[in-house]
């Protein structure tokens, strides 16, 4: 139906700057107005409620100030008028790997997940710029009622499930960037796992920005119905362009009673990407949500995955690793909103600042009145590698009423010169020694990760440590 | 001038003050009026109850009725072994006694402005507050009339503690107590400020204390805040520590309705150290808003902060603390710990322990905990026959007393322990 | 006059049942030992008698000199005359040992009565000396930073100061070297007399070399399954607990 709609429309496909080597069939042009929204809705053939939703979101986005009263002033360097908000060649991803362009295959290998390893995955989706180019899931899962499609497909094909939760975990006005995403979102995954279905293997998504001056705004919604289990993994990369690129995703997770969701991110955007992402989950009774969040790339990342612990005995966890090298600011953290009795949350954050890199932890733990038996434990450890590195920690903890317990600890340490010398004396280069120390620092956390990712993460750390010394 | 709070600036009493000071007060009054009120968008006012700091109902304290002075003097007990005392009521001196080593100056600020004008000028509110109360610092500067001036010359050790009593009397009155301590190289001194109300009426206390700890000098300072339960309190403390210097700052937060306290330690010289200690007992609907900064500006500096809050009823506390280590302040040790004990189902504790580390080879950590009385500790006490209520009090006292145990002066510690026990006994 | 436990059934609050019809009578003037394998309910017994909130009584009686303890708060039971020497004594930060013991003694005085400080300290010091506890420990926070042996000695000091009618010593020998064991035992033996009954809970016979019991009980699966004289402890030491379990199993096989 959607393709029919598009063919009936007069769409200006020449709009925008075509001075780049990659030509897109669909291009919303530069800058963001209500016309841009209409263009995206028309191209994607979306229903009216989404059109309305997007227009409202744009107004919210325009009305909200930049959060520079607490966040990095670097945000002021994003020039919204110069960004391209929608670029694609087609609206439907292929279901066959053979039809996937070679560069996608190549980038998969670069991420360290070669094709043969994909057999460990239950499903894969790959997004280039605004739309998914490849999306496939093991047939058996489909037979069990599991849905794993792009968000565009999800909202059109499964409106009854999609509409119920879309924008409910993260309302449009949550922050300026969630409003931006709500206005121009495209791509991302829609996943539904029926009651009792436990996925043995992870679902994998891969996001790549291929175009300069571009903003990627994927939107992911995962619903794990009662007693089901799912693990979702995402990887992000982009080539390095002269100008800054914007990535601003919204990810909503819903874990129904007794469900378990694990969401793993290895973010390795190039060092000129503004990565401003809102991620939040709702955990119902006895549900468990675990965010595993690794931020290696980007120029500025602002991301604080959260869990709203809405049902009794729900459990939330954020395990976070951030590595900030020269010119990078990893501003990451976690939010735990306790909203029911006996809910527990755990946050472990490890950050490494190298060269002139800066890492920041921001946390929010909220236990309101009249709750009983809630517990939070937070640990933040920062490692500084050089004298110009910087690390900050800004947690905010509110507890009302006795009967709950919250514990927050943070520490800052260095790789000691003595330690490095010791390893050098045993024949390791300084970079190898440094790499070993850094891996040691994050090791206990990495052990919690799925195996494929812990290997990948170690490799990325080694890569970052090369040339970071001296 | 339209603002009632700024009346003193033109009062006849201010005519005897030095020109530079009068000029400063005029400029500060203008600054106070022109600066915007803080908003919650300002990070340093996050979680704050801004309505509580609307000051339009207050006017500068009227001269104190002399016949009531005797009563306040008998109530000005403090520590028994003090070697000097100043007693102020509504910012007016009502008594001064001192037996001090040669060269030590312990005077009302109003007198020191004429006798030691240059010293005062060189140290008077030299750094703008770093934690959000710029406007209130301007108010204090514009309206301060009196306070403590303590100068300890090079190498002089003042063994016995000194103390100052600040009494606030009458409804709707505002006082602006000021404390300026200058401890020269290798000197040592201990000072206690007792802030109390003569009656239970509402008032405003907007105070500043500035401590200058010289090279290898040692200063121990206690601020004991026990205003009436209707007082709005804004207190700003700044401690400057030079190389090898050592400051210990203990704050008791017991009184007031809404109390905002900002406490900053600037570690300016290599080898300097600052210990920042605070005990808060909050009950009824009291709100205590505490902001701290451990500012490491030089290498080989250390700071250690321990704040403990016990909360009853619907009381609320905010702790926001920042350890900042400047780029060149290598080899720094900085620790910060805040612990909240919630003793009711309605009390609320907010903690924002922060770190900003821009230097290398630092040892830094912070911790924040919020919880209730440990059930096993309680059972252990009960198993010894101690009644539940007493066990609660004893455990709460022990919890807070851990802070007091770190204060090195026995007589002061014991006096404070006694008032703390009395306060807790009410619960 | 005795502490009587009659057909006591108890469980972890909302959880597993641990005591299954336990019967025991500790007479004043006598020392009873309860031995048993790990998990048999020894520590639970001590917690149930003293009223720990983690346990609940399903049925049965606990009578102290004829008066029921059930339903009383832990502090009421303590003042009624039951003392528990904890297996793991709690650390209480900021509360000095001297103040703690004084608070416990004061709680036993009638309203308006006050403890005489000089007499109190004289007695405290005397008992500390006999237990070889340095006097500096009066100013230290309760058990904080104490070694295992110091904590156990501190428990016995509290017992000596509070002079209970009945004491339960929960694995007081664990974590003690032989010298500390002798000191602690001497402290307990000093209490022996017509006005004092004790229940010594232990896993090993070793403690009973120093505190000779009048009666030895064996606790298995939350019940007293054997009662005898001091020779029973020696038999257990030699043969372990398995033979008892086997003997218990036999009637079921018939």
Q: Does B42 touch chain A (CB under 8 A)?
A: yes
Both tokens assigned to A162 = 């999609």
Task: Report the distance separating Cα B16 and Cα A327, nearest Å.
Answer: 57
C-beta atoms of A402 and B342 within 8 A: yes
Q: Does B392 touch chain A (CB under 8 A)?
A: no
C-beta atoms of B402 and C78 within 8 A: no
C-beta atoms of C92 and B395 within 8 A: yes
Q: In chain C, what is the greatest distance between 2 CA atoms, to the nearest angstrom?
A: 67
Rounded to the nearest angstrom, the minimum Cα separation between A411 and chain B is 4
Q: Does B421 touch chain C (CB under 8 A)?
A: no
C-beta atoms of B327 and A397 within 8 A: no
Q: How far lies B40's CA from each of B37, B47, B132, B353, in Å?
A: 10, 7, 11, 18
C-beta atoms of C158 and B384 within 8 A: yes
C-beta atoms of C53 and B375 within 8 A: yes
Q: Does C100 touch chain B (CB under 8 A)?
A: yes
Q: Flag whether C touches A (3+ CB pairs, 8 A cutoff).
A: no
Task: Report the distance separating Cα B417 and Cα B422, nearest Å.
Answer: 9
C-beta atoms of A395 and B371 within 8 A: no
Q: Which of B46, B345, B361 is opposite residue A370, by nearest beta carbon?
A: B345
What's CA A443's distance to the chain center, in Å? 22
The values of phi and psi at residue A62, to 5°, are -65, -30
Residues of B in contact with C108 (CB under 8 A): 385
Q: Per-residue pLDDT tens for A134-191?
A: 777 778 888 899 999 989 889 999 999 999 999 999 999 999 999 999 999 998 999 9
Range of lowest pLDDT (A14-28, B138-152, C80-94, C102-116): A14-28
Chains that touch C (3 or more CB pairs under 8 A): B
Confidence at residue B68, expressed as pLDDT on a 0 to 100 scale: 83
The values of phi and psi at residue B38, to 5°, are -65, 150
C-beta atoms of A392 and B354 within 8 A: yes
Q: Are B257 and B232 spatial neighbours (Cβ–Cβ below 8 Å)?
A: yes
SS3 C183: helix
Q: Does B354 touch chain A (CB under 8 A)?
A: yes
Q: Are B180 and B147 spatial neighbours (Cβ–Cβ below 8 Å)?
A: yes
Residue range C21-41: average pLDDT?
93
Measured CA angle at B179 (ends B178, B185), to 5 deg: 155
Task: Report the distance separating Cα B305 and Cα B250, nearest Å.
Answer: 10
- Quick one: closest CA in B to C78, which residue? B385
Q: Which of B375, B377, B390 is opposite residue C92, by nearest beta carbon?
A: B377
* Chain B interface test: which of A365, A408, A419 (most B C-beta within 10 Å): A408
C-beta atoms of C92 and B383 within 8 A: no
- Quick one: closest CA in B to C84, which residue? B383
Q: Please report the DSSP string for A125-140 in residue order.
A: EEEETTEEEEEEE-HH
Counting every residue written for chain B, the total comes to 427
C-beta atoms of B398 and C93 within 8 A: yes
Q: Are B304 and B272 spatial neighbours (Cβ–Cβ below 8 Å)?
A: no
Per DSSP (E only), the strands in B297-347 are: 302-311, 316-325, 333-342
Q: Are C200 and C211 spatial neighbours (Cβ–Cβ below 8 Å)?
A: yes
Confidence at residue A7, expressed as pLDDT on a 0 to 100 scale: 30
CA dihedral C114, C117, C123, C126 (to 10 degrees): 160
C-beta atoms of A398 and B47 within 8 A: yes
C-beta atoms of B385 and C84 within 8 A: no
Q: What number of C-beta contacts closer than 8 Å exist between A and B?
A: 124
Query: Would you put residue A187 in left (φ > 0), alpha (ψ -120 to 50) or beta?
Result: left
Q: Does C141 touch chain B (CB under 8 A)?
A: yes
Confidence at residue A90, expressed as pLDDT on a 0 to 100 scale: 67
* Chain A interface test: which of B293, B318, B358 (most A C-beta within 10 Å): B358
Q: Per-residue pLDDT tens for C173-215?
A: 888 888 889 998 999 999 999 999 999 999 888 899 999 999 9
C-beta atoms of C78 and B385 within 8 A: yes
Residues of B in contact with C95 (CB under 8 A): 394-395, 397-398, 401
Q: Does B294 touch chain A (CB under 8 A)?
A: no
Confidence at residue A16, expressed as pLDDT on a 0 to 100 scale: 27
Rounded to the nearest angstrom, the minimum Cα separation between C214 and chain B is 26
Q: Are A438 and A466 spatial neighbours (Cβ–Cβ below 8 Å)?
A: no
Inform me whether the pLDDT recorded for C254 exceeds 80: no
Residues of A in contact with B46 (CB under 8 A): 396
Per DSSP (E only), the strands in A59-146 are: 87-88, 123-128, 131-137
C-beta atoms of C78 and B382 within 8 A: yes
C-beta atoms of B394 and C95 within 8 A: yes
SS3 B126: coil
Task: Report the distance separating Cα B209 and Cα C242, nearest Å.
Answer: 73
Q: Flag whether A touches B (3+ CB pairs, 8 A cutoff).
A: yes
Chains that touch B (3 or more CB pairs under 8 A): A, C
Residues of B in contact with C86 (CB under 8 A): 380, 383
C-beta atoms of A388 and B349 within 8 A: no
C-beta atoms of C53 and B379 within 8 A: yes
Q: Does C9 touch chain B (CB under 8 A)?
A: no
Both tokens assigned to C82 = 């039951």
Task: Report the distance separating Cα B257 and Cα C90, nearest Å.
Answer: 36
Q: Does B342 touch chain C (CB under 8 A)?
A: no
Q: Does B397 touch chain C (CB under 8 A)?
A: yes
Per DSSP (E only), the strands in chain C are: 2-12, 17-27, 31-35, 55-64, 67-68, 82-85, 92-96, 141-142, 166-170, 197-202, 215-220, 223-228
C-beta atoms of C99 and B400 within 8 A: no
pLDDT digit string (tens) for chain A, length 470 residues: 333 333 333 333 232 222 334 567 788 888 999 999 999 999 999 999 999 999 999 999 999 999 998 999 999 999 999 999 998 876 667 777 666 667 666 665 665 544 544 556 677 777 777 777 777 777 888 889 999 998 988 999 999 999 999 999 999 999 999 999 999 999 899 999 999 999 988 888 877 777 778 889 999 999 999 999 999 988 776 666 667 789 999 999 999 999 999 999 988 888 889 999 999 999 999 999 999 999 988 999 999 999 999 999 999 999 999 999 999 999 999 999 999 999 999 999 999 998 899 999 999 999 998 899 999 999 999 999 877 889 999 999 999 999 999 999 999 988 877 777 777 777 777 777 788 788 888 888 887 777 767 777 777 777 777 655 54
Mention every residue, 6+ apart, whose C-beta is less than 8 A from residue C113.
none
Confidence at residue A3, expressed as pLDDT on a 0 to 100 scale: 33
C-beta atoms of C75 and B382 within 8 A: yes
Residues of B in contact with A408 (CB under 8 A): 351, 353, 366-369
Chains that touch A (3 or more CB pairs under 8 A): B
Average pLDDT by stretches of 10, chain B with 427 residues: 57 70 95 92 89 87 83 94 96 94 95 95 93 94 96 97 96 96 98 96 96 98 97 97 98 97 98 98 97 97 98 97 94 96 96 93 93 95 95 96 96 96 93
Q: Per-residue pLDDT tens for B246-292?
A: 999 999 999 999 999 999 999 999 999 999 999 999 999 999 999 99
C-beta atoms of C108 and B385 within 8 A: yes
Measured CA angle at A336 (ends A332, A342), to 5 deg: 155
- Quick one: closest CA in B to C85, which residue? B383
């Amino acid at each position: 139906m959607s393709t029919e709609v598009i063919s009936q429309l007069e769409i200006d496909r020449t709009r925008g700057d075509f001075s780049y080597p990659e030509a897109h069939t669909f291009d919303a042009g530069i800058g963001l107005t209500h016309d841009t929204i209409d263009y995206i809705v028309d191209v994607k053939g979306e229903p009216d409620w989404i059109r309305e939703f997007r227009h409202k979101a744009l107004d919210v986005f325009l009305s909200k100030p930049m959060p520079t009263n607490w966040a990095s002033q670097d945000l002021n360097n994003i020039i919204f008028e110069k960004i391209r908000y929608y670029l694609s060649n087609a609206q439907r991803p292929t279901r066959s790997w053979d039809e996937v362009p070679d560069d996608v295959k190549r980038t998969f290998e670069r991420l360290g997940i070669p094709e043969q390893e994909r057999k460990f995955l239950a499903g894969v989706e790959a997004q280039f710029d605004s739309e998914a180019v490849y999306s496939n899931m093991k047939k058996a899962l489909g037979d069990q009622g599991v849905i794993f499609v792009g968000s565009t497909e999800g909202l059109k094909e499964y409106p009854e499930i999609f509409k119920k939760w879309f924008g409910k975990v993260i309302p449009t006005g949550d922050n300026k960037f969630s409003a931006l995403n709500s206005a121009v979102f495209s791509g991302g995954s829609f996943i539904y796992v029926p009651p009792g279905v436990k996925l043995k293997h992870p679902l994998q998504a891969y996001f790549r920005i291929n175009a300069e001056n571009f903003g990627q705004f994927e939107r992911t919604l995962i619903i794990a119905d009662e007693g089901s289990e799912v693990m979702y993994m995402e990887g992000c990369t982009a080539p390095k362009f002269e100008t800054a690129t914007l990535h601003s995703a919204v990810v909503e997770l819903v874990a129904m009673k007794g469900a378990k969701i694990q969401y793993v991110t290895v973010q390795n955007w190039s060092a000129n990407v503004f990565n401003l992402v809102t991620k939040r989950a709702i955990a119902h009774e006895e549900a468990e949500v675990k965010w595993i969040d690794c931020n290696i790339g980007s120029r500025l990342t602002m991301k604080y995955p959260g869990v709203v612990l809405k049902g009794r005995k729900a459990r939330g966890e954020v395990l976070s690793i951030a590595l900030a090298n020269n010119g990078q600011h990893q501003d990451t953290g976690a939010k735990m909103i306790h909203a029911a009795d006996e809910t527990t949350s755990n946050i472990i954050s490890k950050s490494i600042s190298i060269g002139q890199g800066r890492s920041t932890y921001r946390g929010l733990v909220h236990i309101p009145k009249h709750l009983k038996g809630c517990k939070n434990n937070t640990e933040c450890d920062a490692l500084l590698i050089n004298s110009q590195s910087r690390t900050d920690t800004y947690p905010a903890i509110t507890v009302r009423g006795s009967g709950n317990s919250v514990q927050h600890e943070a520490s800052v340490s260095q790789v000691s010169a003595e330690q490095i010398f010791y390893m050098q004396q045993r024949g390791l280069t300084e970079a190898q020694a440094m790499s070993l120390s850094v891996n040691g620092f994050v090791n206990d956390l990495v052990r919690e990760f799925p195996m494929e990712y812990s290997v990948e993460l170690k490799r990325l750390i080694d890569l970052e440590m090369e040339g970071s010394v001296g | 001038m339209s603002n009632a709070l700024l009346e003193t600036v033109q009062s006849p009493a201010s005519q005897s003050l030095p020109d530079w000071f009068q000029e400063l007060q005029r400029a500060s009054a203008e600054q106070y009026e022109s600066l915007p009120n803080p908003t919650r968008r300002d990070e340093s006012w996050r979680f704050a109850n801004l309505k509580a700091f609307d000051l339009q109902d207050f006017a500068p304290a009227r001269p104190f009725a002399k016949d009531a002075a005797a009563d306040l003097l008998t109530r000005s007990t403090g520590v028994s072994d003090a070697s000097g005392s100043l007693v102020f009521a509504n910012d007016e001196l009502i008594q001064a006694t001192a037996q001090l080593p040669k060269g030590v100056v312990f005077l009302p600020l109003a007198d020191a402005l004429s006798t030691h004008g240059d010293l005062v000028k060189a140290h008077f509110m030299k750094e703008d507050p770093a934690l959000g109360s710029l406007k209130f610092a301007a108010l204090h500067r514009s309206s301060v009339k009196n306070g403590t001036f303590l100068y300890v010359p090079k190498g002089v050790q003042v063994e016995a503690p000194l103390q100052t009593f600040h009494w606030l009397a009458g409804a709707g009155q505002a006082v602006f107590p000021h404390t300026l301590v200058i401890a020269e190289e290798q000197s040592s001194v201990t000072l206690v400020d007792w802030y109390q109300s003569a009656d239970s009426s509402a008032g405003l206390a907007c105070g500043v204390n500035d401590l200058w700890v010289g090279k290898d000098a040692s200063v121990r300072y206690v601020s004991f805040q026990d205003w009436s339960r209707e007082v709005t309190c804004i207190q700003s403390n700044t401690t400057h520590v030079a190389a090898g210097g050592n400051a210990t700052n203990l704050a008791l937060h017991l009184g007031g309705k809404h109390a905002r306290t900002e406490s900053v330690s600037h570690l300016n010289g290599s080898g300097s150290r600052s210990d920042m200690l605070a005990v808060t007992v909050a009950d009824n609907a009291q709100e205590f808003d505490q902001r701290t900064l451990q500012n490491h500006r030089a290498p080989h500096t250390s700071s250690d902060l321990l704040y403990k809050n016990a909360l009853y009823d619907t009381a609320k506390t905010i702790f926001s603390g920042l350890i900042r280590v400047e780029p060149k302040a290598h080899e720094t040790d900085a620790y910060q710990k805040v612990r909240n004990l919630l003793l009711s189902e309605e009390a609320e504790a907010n903690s924002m322990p922060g770190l900003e580390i821009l230097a290398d080879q630092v040892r830094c950590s912070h911790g924040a905990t919020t919880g209730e009385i440990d059930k096993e500790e309680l059972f252990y006490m009960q198993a010894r026959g101690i009644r539940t209520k007493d066990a609660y009090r004893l455990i709460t006292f022990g919890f807070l007393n851990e802070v007091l145990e770190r204060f090195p002066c026995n007589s002061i510690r014991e006096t404070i322990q006694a008032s703390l026990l009395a306060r807790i006994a009410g619960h | 006059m005795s502490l009587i436990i009659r057909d006591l059934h108890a469980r972890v609050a909302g959880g597993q049942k641990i005591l299954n019809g336990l019967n025991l009578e500790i007479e004043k003037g006598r020392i009873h030992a309860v031995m048993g394998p790990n998990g048999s309910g020894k520590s639970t017994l001590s917690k149930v008698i003293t009223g720990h909130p983690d346990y609940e009584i399903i049925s049965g009686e606990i009578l102290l000199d004829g008066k029921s303890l059930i339903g009383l708060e832990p502090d009421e039971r303590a003042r009624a005359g039951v003392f528990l020497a904890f297996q793991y004594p709690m650390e209480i930060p900021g509360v000095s040992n001297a103040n703690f013991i004084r608070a416990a003694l004061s709680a036993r005085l009638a309203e308006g009565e006050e403890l005489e400080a000089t007499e109190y300290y004289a007695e405290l010091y005397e008992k500390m000396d006999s237990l070889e506890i340095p006097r500096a420990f009066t100013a230290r926070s309760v058990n904080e930073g104490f070694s295992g042996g110091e904590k156990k000695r501190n428990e016995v000091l509290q017992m000596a100061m509070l002079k209970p009618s009945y004491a339960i010593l929960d694995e007081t020998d664990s974590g003690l070297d032989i010298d500390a064991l002798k000191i602690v035992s001497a402290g307990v033996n000093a209490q022996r007399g017509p006005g004092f009954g004790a229940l010594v809970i232990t896993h090993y016979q070793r403690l009973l070399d120093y505190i000779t019991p009048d009666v030895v009980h064996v606790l298995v699966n939350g019940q007293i399954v054997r009662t005898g004289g001091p020779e029973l402890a020696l038999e257990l030491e030699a043969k372990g607990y398995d033979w008892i379990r086997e003997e218990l199993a036999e009637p079921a096989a018939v």
